[in-house]
Structure formats: C-alpha cells, structure tokens
Amino acid sequence: MQRLKAAIVGATGMAGQQFVQALSGHPQFEVVAMVSSRTARNYAEALLEPDGASRWTQSSEVPEDMAEVPVVTSEAFRPESVDVIFTAVESDVARELEPRFAATTPTFSTASLFRQEPDTPLMIAGVNHHHAELIRVQQRRRGWKGFVVPIPNCTVTGLAITLKPLADAFGLTRVLMVSMQAVSGAGRSPGVRTLDSLDNILPYIPKEEEKVRSELGKILGRLEGEAIVPTPVPVNAICTRAAVLDGHTEAVFAGLGKAASVAEVKQVLREYRPFAGARLHSAPEEWIHVFDDPFRPQPRRDRELGDGMTTSVGRVEPDPVLGGVKYVLVSHNTKMGAGKGAVLLAEALLEQGVFGG
Ligand SMILES: NC(=O)c1ccc[n+]([C@@H]2O[C@H](COP(=O)([O-])OP(=O)(O)OC[C@H]3O[C@@H](n4cnc5c(N)ncnc54)[C@H](OP(=O)(O)O)[C@@H]3O)[C@@H](O)[C@H]2O)c1
C-alpha cells in the first residue's frame, strides 16, 4: 500500500519530537515536510540552536529518515500538498494555522484550541474513537474538506484510559485526582525553569485543573445527535509539577456505581483491549498494566512500558470514602499523552475509514 504523505508542524518541540519518532519508518505515513518558524534546509538543521547546541532531547539519535526532511515556514507550506498533518504548537500559533490546514487536509493536533468546540470531537484512541462521527458535522458546518481533531491535555490521557473500563463495567459516581506531572509536559517555550523545579514540587499548574474537569467530561460523554453530552460525573483535581523528566503520575480516587472487589477492578483493567483484533502500528500489546507490587508504578521505571503507550496502574485498593477504588497511574506524557498518541488516533481513524480513502 502506498503511504499517505504527512507533514509535522512544530517538530523541534517536546511533543513534535515524539511525532518524529512515532512517524519514523511508519508503514502508513511518510513524512515529506516539516513546518517551523525557523528558516532551515532540513530537520537536522532546524534542530540547531544559534550556538550549535541541538534541541533534540530524546535518548536515541534523530531518526535517519527524518534528518533530511525539508523544513518550510508556515507561509510557504501548502497544506493541500499532503494527505495528513500532525501539529504540535502552542494554541496561539494553532489559532493561526490549524483552520487553514483543516480547510483542505485532515489535521491531528496536540494543542488545546479546538478541544471544547461543540462540533469537534476530543479523542483518545481506544477510549472514545466512536466520537469520530462528529468530524462530518465539523466539515459540513465549516465547509472544510479536511478536519481538525485534537487530543486532550496529557494529564487527562492516563486518567481517561483507566476510568473508561471502570465506567463501562461498574459506572462512576465521582472522581478525585492528584497529579505529579513531569517537567517535559510544560514544553520548552516557556517550559519550567530548572531552578524552580529541581529538588521541588510546584503545587499549581495554571489552567490545568479546569482542563482535567472539562476534557474528561467530554471524553467520557455521550454523542447525541450532533453534540457530545458531557458525563455528569463530578470530577476534581489538584495538579502539581514534580522534578521528573517524563511520565505523569496520578493518584486517583474513583467512586463506583456498584460494588466491586479489588480483584474485579484489576481484572477489568487488565482485560481492557480496545483494539483486540485490529493491528494498529502504534498500539501497545498491553493497554493497561496492573502491578500487584505496591511500590509500582514509578515514572522512571515504568513510563516506557509498551514504548510509552501502556498506562501503568498500581496500589489498587478499596476507597471507603467515595465508595469505590483508589489507585496510582503512570502515563507517558509526550508519547501516549501527545505525539505518539495522536499518531495512534490517526491510525484508528484511518482504519475506521474517516480519511485516507
Ligand atoms: N509536552 C507535552 O507533554 C504535551 C502533551 C500534550 C500536549 N501538548 C501540547 O502540544 C503543543 C506543543 O507543546 P510542546 O510541549 O511540544 O511545546 P514546545 O516544546 O515549546 O514546542 C513548540 C514548537 O512550536 C513550534 N512553532 C512555534 N511557532 C511556530 C510556527 N509559526 N510555525 C511552526 N512551528 C512553530 C516551535 O518550533 P520552531 O522553533 O521550529 O518553530 C516549537 O518547537 C502545545 O499545544 C501543548 O499544549 C504538549
């Protein structure tokens, strides 16, 4: 099968570098262009700071098939020249670029700009990819040939992935969550200052808790007609920044609609296999890994499980206060929570025939 031509926008940033890794050697997408605010011949050159330092922060080298990909500015880029676009830019840049891209071309975005638009689904592959029907509404209302589909804030990803099977099996009555989020989640610009984060926990991340409440509500909501009705389950969160490079850790307390033993909860989480049967290139073999060891999960040890696509869960215990369970999860914020998660969503929508036909 001929691969679809893809472009990455913001490929030098934290989430963008994950797009680069996820799309290297991809069987269905071939990256033919990158879009940057910098003037550079190719990706290798775009990564260089004026002093010669590289912006590449991954532990493996820049993939060979990406180093030579031509880089263009957004003004010079013709979105109709590619079949799919992956964007990893801040919302102010997204506001300028994404509607222009979506007018002609399917666009998968890590930015928050479109997440709460009523005609736009907010999707995580394996959790609510059936909300994709709303894409046709977006196209019709806006007169677009393409579309724009955002993925959620990276703090919401592991939470939604673990709550979805619990909601389906037992029902949810309320949810509380405390996060200890990695510094890479703040990106490079403006990012988190080293002096503030080293040997420290920052107790506040602006706008994050509101995003957890509203985005989780939409993801776990029901598609009714041409709109998503958010789940009525009350959700509250405290989001903190911890001195961890990658991997968000979250302590979750979930009230359940019916009684469930710890063994039943673990079984439901372990048996969650949303893509069983379908072979999606970026999907992990194991969607949720449940540890019995109370000292796991830990971000340093467990964030790379399933190449950063498996959500790790441990400390599953009864919660008598909310009448349900409590647990701790670790989710890789720039892999499943950003670039690679968006690529997996594109694979799922390709499989569903939403685009690429
Ligand atoms: N970091 C995470 O864990 C994470 C997780 C989920 C979602 N997100 C979201 O992903 C987006 C990017 O976040 P990030 O953490 O990757 O930020 P980042 O590290 O600051 O990277 C942003 C990139 O945007 C590019 N950019 C700026 N202006 C541009 C323009 N006019 N045209 C093309 N590219 C432009 C920059 O590349 P050039 O310098 O090459 O122009 C920069 O590398 C944000 O919306 C964020 O909320 C991030």
Closest-CA residue, ligand 1 atom 48, reads 15
Please say whether the beta carbons of 86 and 13 come within 8 A.
no
Quick: pLDDT tens for 192-220. 888 899 999 999 999 999 999 999 999 99
89 Cα–ligand 1 center, Å:
3
Would you state the pLDDT for residue 305?
98
106 Cα–ligand 1 center, Å:
19
Beta strands in the chain (DSSP E): 4-9, 29-35, 71-72, 84-87, 106-109, 147-150, 172-181, 201-202, 222-224, 227-229, 235-242, 248-256, 288-290, 311-319, 324-331
Closest-CA residue, ligand 1 atom 44, reads 90
The whole-angstrom separation of Cα 43 and Cα 281 is 24
Low-confidence spans in the chain with pLDDT less than 70? none
Residues with Cβ within 6 A of ligand 1?
9-10, 12-16, 35-38, 46, 74, 88-91, 93, 110-112, 154, 184-185, 187-189, 333-334, 337-338
Residue 182 alpha carbon, nearest atom of ligand 1: 3
What lies within 8 Å, CB to CB, of 4 at 6+ separation is 28, 29, 30, 82, 83, 84, 350, 356
Q: Which of 152, 150, 173 is nearest to 258 (CA)?
A: 173
The whole-angstrom separation of Cα 357 and Cα 353 is 6
pTM for this structure?
0.97
Would you state the pLDDT for residue 276?
81
How many residues can be counted in the chain? 357
Give, for ligand 1, the residue of 8, 36, 241 to mutate: max count of ligand atoms closer than 8 Å to Cβ.
36
Active site residue 332: no
Give, for ligand 1, the residue of 89, 184, 241 to mutate: max count of ligand atoms closer than 8 Å to Cβ.
89
The whole-angstrom separation of Cα 310 and Cα 207 is 26
136 Cα–ligand 1 center, Å:
27
Which one of 26, 129, 131, 154 is the catalytic residue?
154
The whole-angstrom separation of Cα 323 and Cα 254 is 8
Would you state the pLDDT for residue 238?
98
Residue 35 alpha carbon, nearest atom of ligand 1: 33
Quick: pLDDT tens for 303-336. 999 999 999 999 999 999 999 999 999 999 999 9
Widest Cα–Cα separation across the chain: 60
**CA distance readout (Å), 65 to 21, 68, 84, 210, 351:** 10, 7, 18, 39, 25
Is 69 exposed, middle or buried, given 0-12, 13-18 or 19+ CB atoms closer than 10 A? buried
The whole-angstrom separation of Cα 165 and Cα 272 is 7
Please say whether the beta carbons of 18 and 57 come within 8 A.
no
186 Cα–ligand 1 center, Å:
10
Active site residue 154: yes
Phi/psi zone of residue 315: left (φ > 0), alpha (ψ -120 to 50 degrees), beta? Answer: left
Q: Which of 177, 320, 199, 190 is nearest to 249 (CA)?
A: 177
The whole-angstrom separation of Cα 107 and Cα 120 is 12
Which one of 26, 129, 131, 248 is the catalytic residue?
248
88 Cα–ligand 1 center, Å:
5
Full set of structural domains in the chain with CATH: 4-151+339-351 (3.40.50.720), 154-331 (3.30.360.10)
Q: Which of 130, 132, 75, 107 is nearest to 7 (CA)?
A: 107
Give, for ligand 1, the residue of 9, 14, 151 to mutate: max count of ligand atoms closer than 8 Å to Cβ.
14
| Sign of the C-alpha dihedral computed for residues 322, 328, 333 and 337 taken in this order | negative
189 Cα–ligand 1 center, Å:
8
DSSP class of 264: H
13 Cα–ligand 1 center, Å:
5
Q: Quick check: helix, strand or coil at residue 230?
A: coil
